[in-house]
Every structure is written in structure tokens, then in C-alpha cells.
Chain A
């Protein structure tokens, strides 16, 4: 069983909601990422989404755009990101790590080389923001050969027919984008998310994560009540900007933020 499947089976057995955290590899500095990954696991995160820096992150809001730019100032590449996962795996063999990014760096590396390297270093899944399943045939087959799950996004604008197909193409988990907008946008509508998630649940057995617009315990808890877990990104990435120069303060701020959300998630189930 894959790390993702193992983790979600255990969460299900423990009646625990999943907390997924997103950071960008190399943000704010290359040396901080692996240590931060261990820290966020310690704070109660179940799955790590590691962003691959890209020059043109067209689906991101200003906070995560800035994170990509900070990482690119240190010239962090997809290859560097894979190295960070390898280093993380030296001390953590069980926490699933999913890469999230844009297609071009993967194309440039080559599907075969990427899938092989990702499988080797212990990457468990890949979210490619600008790759709908229609265009993903060759990549998906290659990922499958190396035990890396393709994870697709569903949006508020996705039709039900399309959602059924995307769910069928997904492995690991399904990611529902909770609002029309870029990452970090506000205006999360819990009732809307609830009705969409219920609809989507009819199409898949996979765990359903909800992301975009979740920034603290108060926004996470009502969403977790209807989904299998939540994704937190911009809220912790913003801390990278605030504590860019101070890795110690940064790590503790990120852990505090996530611990608060973890508590709220636990309370929502109890």
C-alpha cells in the first residue's frame, strides 16, 4: 500500500481529519525547507504538499507568488526539490509528500526521468496545477509505473459529468478547490462547499481534501466537518515572508499556526 493510502486508512480508523500543509521548496531559504518539513509533521500535519518553484505560477495569489520568487532567487529547481524530499526521507519514512507545481519543469526533466527520480526519493503524489486529465495521458502512465499518484483538482465550475471522470483518473486523494480564485483568496462559502463535497463523494472512494481560503482553526473546522481533510497554504507561506530572516522564529510560528488548526480539527470530530 502507498504511503498516502496507508496514512488515510489510519486517519480513517482514528476518526481523525487530515491536515495537509503546503510550503514552497527553498522558501524562504534552501537550508530551511527540510527542517520545516519535520517541524510541520511534529505540529500535527498528516500530508506535506511541497511546491516546486516556477517562474510563472499563474494560479497563485500574491502570497504564494512571492514564495516562488523567493525560492527562485536561490535558483531552486525541480531537481533541488527532489533532493529535499530525499533528505526528508532520511528521518521520516511514513509522512506522505506530494509535489505541487506546474507542468513545464516536469516536461523539461522528461516524464520518465522525473517519475523515476520522484519514485526513488520517496515522492508519493503529484499535483500539476495546469494539467487537466485530458492532457495527462503519457505522464499518468509513467507516474503509475513508479508508484507516484496523480492527484487532480476539482473546482466549483467543474460539471458533475467531468467531476466523475476526474475522480476516476485520480489516485491518492482528490483535491477540491473551494472557491473561484487564486490561492489565498477570501470568501469561502461553507454551505456551498458542503453541497459540492456531498455531490463529489458520490463519485469517489478516495479521501477528499478541500483547499483555498483556509487560514486558521476557525475556517478549517467547518470545512473539515464536511470533508476528509483541509489544505493550508497561504497562511503559513505568509509566515515565511514575515520571518524570512529568522529561521528559528519562522519554524515556531509555522508550528504554532498548524498546531492551532490541528486542535480545531480534532475538536470538530470530538
Chain B
């Protein structure tokens, strides 16, 4: 096969052979990680993806040929900018003065008392400008778009938060902006839709396919392939073709860096558990990444179990999915036996996605992170509980992580610590909650 690959002229160059060499190095990597767990150090987990965008066998670049040049351009721009002190200074300044960082790390004392176990800390991404962690990524990608000279920005959105955040940064940078939102969500998140319009974005309802978040991604890809010369696509999560999973993770890692330093200052040492909800997985990857090499810290991603994992009506590919290829990367997917992508279900629009970022797939396989799932009912209960006990309105997405943290805390000692990424605020979910409660608030 080597001869065959060399004959293509790809080997050792663009790397058709890289899948194989990386599979070998992945095995070595896994071994190294197991050893490092024993001796308590780990120096390399943070160094992925490899040159061609793979996390072990996951990730990569599975797109139509037309987009390959744009992805190369984006990779080159990012390689340059991530080492550019002027870019980093501008990003840091925007995060401080526009987004409002650092976000607080808040010890939820009444929630802790109610759970009766480990102390629960909330990383308050809900207090960011636009009300969620999504803006961390959008701010950085808007700077990238400006650097690449792209006058137009497009984005897909599920819960509306990434759409709002993208429209926000595009408005601030004077870029044209189009947001693709799934048809179903336009009803569920009508406030976000109008907010996008107030921000000068064209909000396009997506009624193709199953009219879900994945179809909004498909539509955004189709737009990008058509307008690739002048358009930058801000993917909102750590999925998509390389370099997106890496760029979004790097930009979201500010969450984990802050949380780690804040915890060390307030409490000393490291938390025992860091947990976050996982749809595509950007808020989880952002808070996990700076802790990857702290072997004593359990990293737990919480997927949406919808009506329950046994019912099949859920959005938990890491718990109940099969490896495949969708939206530019290889990862765990909800799919049927014929490889068709399954429809998903979650009460939270932002988690209602059949795939998951490839780095999560890899962290699951090498057992560096654990992935659990929480049902709609449990998330709704946590949503209500945080309102009543702490006076904080969490997003339904984040409520999944809260639900898991409360139940896990009960099994832990009172001198142990859990950090929950409170990834967004729940104003957008009030109509959904009112409907569940049988109240009309139109």
C-alpha cells in the first residue's frame, strides 16, 4: 500500500498516509496517557490535533473539494495569528471590555447544601455579553475574518445563542451577516430570531431535511460553497472540518484557564470534577482543555438523554452512537444501520444534534473524559431548582450539567469540589418552560 500511496504523490506531503501513521501514534499516545496517569504527569494531551486535523482516528477534513482551499486559507491565517502578539492582545482586550470577562466562578452554597455533598461551583458564562459562552468563539473568528479580508459572515444556530453571538460580532466588525436557523427552532426561539434581525442579520429558516440543527449546518455549508470567496463561516461548535474543532476549542479554552486560576486562588489546588453539557461540545471542550493534563481532575460531559437513552429519542451520540462521518469530521453519530443520520430529540435546542466534536470522541476512547446523559425531565428539574435556590436562570442546555452535578455531589464528600460550566442563561427558554407549565405568555 505504501507504494500505492507514494504513487499518488501524497505520502509525506499532504499526507494520505497520515491516517495510518496517526493510528500508530494514537496507540502510542494512549499508552503514554495510561503511563502518565500512573506517574501523575502528562505533557502531550493538549498537543492534539495532529497536522492534518486528527484526534486519533477522529476529526479530519471531509468536505467537498470546493471548500478545501478555504480551509487551507483558514488554517494558514490561524497558524499565523495565534502567534501574533497584536492579534492576541486585541482578542484579550475584546474579551475583557466587550464580552465582560473574566466571568465569575461562583460557589453555589444553597445548591451545595441541598445536594448535601461536594461543593458546587458555577463558572458563570451566562453573564457574558449575549448571555452564553458562544461569544468567546465568535469574537476570535470575527478577528480572523477581518484578517482574511472576508466581508461576509455566516453561521448556523440551534438554540439561537450562536446565531445571536455571530450577528453581534459581525455588527461590531461591520460585516454582512446571514444566520441559518432550523425551522423548528424559529418557533421555539422566536425572541432570538428577532434579536438577530435587530442586529442586522438575515435570519434564514431552514426547512430542508428534518428541519433540525444539522440541517441548518447543511444549509450554511451550501451557502459557504457558493460564496466561498467573500464569506467566512463561523462554526459555533468544536465540530466541522479541520481547523474548526481546534480553533473553536482554543478560543473557548479561556473558560477553563480562568476557572483553573480562579479555583486555585479561591480554594487552592484543583477541583475534583469539572462538568459541562455536550451537544457539539464547545463549552465542555473550552472548560476541559486546560485541565486535560491534570490527571486527578475528572472531566465529565453531559449529553441530552431526551426521553431516556432506552427510548432512542435522545441526542447522546457518545453514550449511544456509532462512529461515522458528518459535517466534515469523523466522530460518534446517531445513525441507523444503513448509515443514515438519525433524528434526535432534546428539550434543549442547543443539544439537539446527532454528532459531537471529534476531540470529545477521542477523549472518550482514551478514557480521559467520561460522558453521561441526563433526561429532559432531570434537566427541567435542575432548571427550576437553580432559579429557586440561587436566583439564577440557567439555559436548558446548561441545566443538563447542573442536574448531573447535583446528583454526583450527593455521592461525594463535603470537602470535594465540582465546577459546573454554566454555559448560558435561560431567558431564551422561558417560552418553552411556560408552554410546559401550560401558561400562555404571548
Partners in one complex: yes
Query: What is the CA–CA distance of A162 and B239 in the complex, to the nearest angstrom?
Result: 25
Which residue of B69, B228, B339 contacts A105 across the interface (Cβ within 8 Å)? B339
* B325 contacts A103, C-beta separation under 8 Å: yes
The yes or no answer to A61 lying at the interface (CB within 8 A) is yes
* A55 contacts B17, C-beta separation under 8 Å: no
* A157 contacts B66, C-beta separation under 8 Å: yes
Query: What is the CA–CA distance of A244 and B228 in the complex, to the nearest angstrom?
Result: 34
* B226 contacts A133, C-beta separation under 8 Å: no
Query: What is the CA–CA distance of A152 and B66 in the complex, to the nearest angstrom?
Result: 12
The yes or no answer to B149 lying at the interface (CB within 8 A) is no
* B64 contacts A130, C-beta separation under 8 Å: yes
Interface, chain B (partner A; CB < 8 A): 1, 4-5, 7-10, 13-20, 52, 60-70, 208-210, 214-215, 217-218, 221-222, 225-229, 322-328, 333, 335, 337-341
Query: What is the CA–CA distance of A136 and B18 in the complex, to the nearest angstrom?
Result: 11
Number of interface residues of A (CB under 8 A): 56
* A105 contacts B338, C-beta separation under 8 Å: yes
The yes or no answer to A267 lying at the interface (CB within 8 A) is no
Q: Which 10 residue pairs across A and B have the least CB separation, nearest first?
A: A108-B339, A105-B339, A77-B338, A155-B66, A157-B69, A181-B226, A155-B65, A55-B341, A59-B64, A104-B339
| Highest count of chain A CB atoms <10 Å: which of B9, B327, B328 | B9
The yes or no answer to A260 lying at the interface (CB within 8 A) is no
* B16 contacts A134, C-beta separation under 8 Å: yes
Query: What is the CA–CA distance of A180 and B65 in the complex, to the nearest angstrom?
Result: 10
* B10 contacts A169, C-beta separation under 8 Å: yes
With A56-B214, A61-B222, A169-B10 already in contact, the answer to whether A106 and B339 are too (CB < 8 A) is yes
* A107 contacts B68, C-beta separation under 8 Å: no
Which residue of B7, B52, B339 contacts A78 across the interface (Cβ within 8 Å)? B339
Q: In the complex, what residues of B have CB within 8 A of residue A168's CB?
A: 7-9
* A180 contacts B64, C-beta separation under 8 Å: no
Q: Please name the residue on chain B nearest to A176 by beta carbon.
A: B65
Query: What is the CA–CA distance of A154 and B64 in the complex, to the nearest angstrom?
Result: 9
* B324 contacts A58, C-beta separation under 8 Å: no
Which residue of A54, A60, A138, A162 contacts B68 across the interface (Cβ within 8 Å)? A162
Q: In the complex, what residues of A have CB within 8 A of residue B16's CB?
A: 133-137, 169
* A56 contacts B225, C-beta separation under 8 Å: no
* A132 contacts B65, C-beta separation under 8 Å: yes
A-B contacts besides A109-B339, A159-B69, 13 pairs, CB < 8 Å: A58-B217, A59-B225, A132-B63, A133-B10, A134-B61, A137-B17, A141-B1, A144-B4, A158-B68, A162-B69, A166-B65, A168-B8, A180-B225
Q: Please name the residue on chain B nearest to A108 by beta carbon.
A: B339
Q: In the complex, what residues of A have CB within 8 A of residue B222's CB?
A: 58-61, 182
The yes or no answer to A65 lying at the interface (CB within 8 A) is yes
Query: What is the CA–CA distance of A69 and B211 in the complex, to the nearest angstrom?
Result: 12
Report A22 CB to chain B, min CB distance, Å.
15
Interface, chain A (partner B; CB < 8 A): 53-62, 65, 69, 72, 77-79, 102-109, 129-138, 140-141, 144, 152-159, 162, 164-166, 168-169, 177, 180-182, 185
| Highest count of chain B CB atoms <10 Å: which of A61, A72, A78, A102 | A102
Report B34 CB to chain A, min CB distance, Å.
26
Query: What is the CA–CA distance of A159 and B218 in the complex, to the nearest angstrom?
Result: 25
Query: What is the CA–CA distance of A105 and B340 in the complex, to the nearest angstrom?
Result: 7
With A136-B16, A137-B5, A158-B68 already in contact, the answer to whether A103 and B62 are too (CB < 8 A) is yes
Q: In the complex, what residues of A have CB within 8 A of residue B20's CB?
A: 137-138
Q: Please name the residue on chain A nearest to B227 by beta carbon.
A: A180
With A135-B60, A138-B19 already in contact, the answer to whether A130 and B226 are too (CB < 8 A) is no
| Highest count of chain A CB atoms <10 Å: which of B9, B322, B340 | B340
With A56-B218, A155-B65, A158-B68 already in contact, the answer to whether A135 and B8 are too (CB < 8 A) is no
| Highest count of chain B CB atoms <10 Å: which of A109, A132, A133, A164 | A132
With A56-B341, A59-B225, A162-B68 already in contact, the answer to whether A130 and B14 are too (CB < 8 A) is no
With A56-B218, A58-B221, A108-B337 already in contact, the answer to whether A141 and B4 are too (CB < 8 A) is yes
* A130 contacts B4, C-beta separation under 8 Å: no
* B228 contacts A157, C-beta separation under 8 Å: yes
| Highest count of chain B CB atoms <10 Å: which of A53, A59, A130 | A130
* B69 contacts A180, C-beta separation under 8 Å: no
With A108-B338, A157-B66 already in contact, the answer to whether A165 and B14 are too (CB < 8 A) is yes
6 contacts between A and B (CB under 8 A): A56-B218, A79-B338, A102-B325, A104-B326, A108-B324, A153-B65
Query: What is the CA–CA distance of A136 and B327 in the complex, to the nearest angstrom?
Result: 16
Q: Please name the residue on chain B nearest to A138 by beta carbon.
A: B19
Which residue of B18, B214, B322, B328 contacts A130 across the interface (Cβ within 8 Å)? B328
Q: In the complex, what residues of A have CB within 8 A of residue B67's CB?
A: 157
Query: What is the CA–CA distance of A112 and B200 in the complex, to the nearest angstrom?
Result: 50
| Highest count of chain A CB atoms <10 Å: which of B15, B18, B226, B325 | B325
Query: What is the CA–CA distance of A56 and B340 in the complex, to the nearest angstrom?
Result: 8
With A103-B325, A104-B335, A108-B339 already in contact, the answer to whether A135 and B221 are too (CB < 8 A) is no
Q: Please name the residue on chain A nearest to B5 by beta carbon.
A: A137
* B326 contacts A180, C-beta separation under 8 Å: no
Which residue of B215, B228, B339 contacts A107 across the interface (Cβ within 8 Å)? B339
Query: What is the CA–CA distance of A103 and B229 in the complex, to the nearest angstrom?
Result: 26
Q: Please name the residue on chain B nearest to A101 by beta carbon.
A: B339
* A130 contacts B225, C-beta separation under 8 Å: no
Q: In the complex, what residues of A have CB within 8 A of residue B340's CB?
A: 53-55, 72, 77, 104-105
* A62 contacts B208, C-beta separation under 8 Å: yes
Query: What is the CA–CA distance of A59 and B64 in the complex, to the nearest angstrom?
Result: 7
Query: What is the CA–CA distance of A164 and B9 in the complex, to the nearest angstrom?
Result: 9
* A152 contacts B65, C-beta separation under 8 Å: yes
* A182 contacts B339, C-beta separation under 8 Å: no
* B338 contacts A134, C-beta separation under 8 Å: no
* A65 contacts B4, C-beta separation under 8 Å: no
* B65 contacts A177, C-beta separation under 8 Å: yes
Query: What is the CA–CA distance of A109 and B60 in the complex, to the nearest angstrom?
Result: 20
Q: In the complex, what residues of A have CB within 8 A of residue B15's CB?
A: 134
Q: Please name the residue on chain B nearest to A170 by beta carbon.
A: B8
Query: What is the CA–CA distance of A166 and B64 in the complex, to the nearest angstrom?
Result: 13
Which residue of A56, A140, A169, A181 contacts B209 across the interface (Cβ within 8 Å)? A56
* B69 contacts A130, C-beta separation under 8 Å: no
* A104 contacts B325, C-beta separation under 8 Å: yes
Q: Please name the residue on chain A nearest to B7 by beta carbon.
A: A168
* B10 contacts A165, C-beta separation under 8 Å: yes
Query: What is the CA–CA distance of A111 and B4 in the complex, to the nearest angstrom?
Result: 17
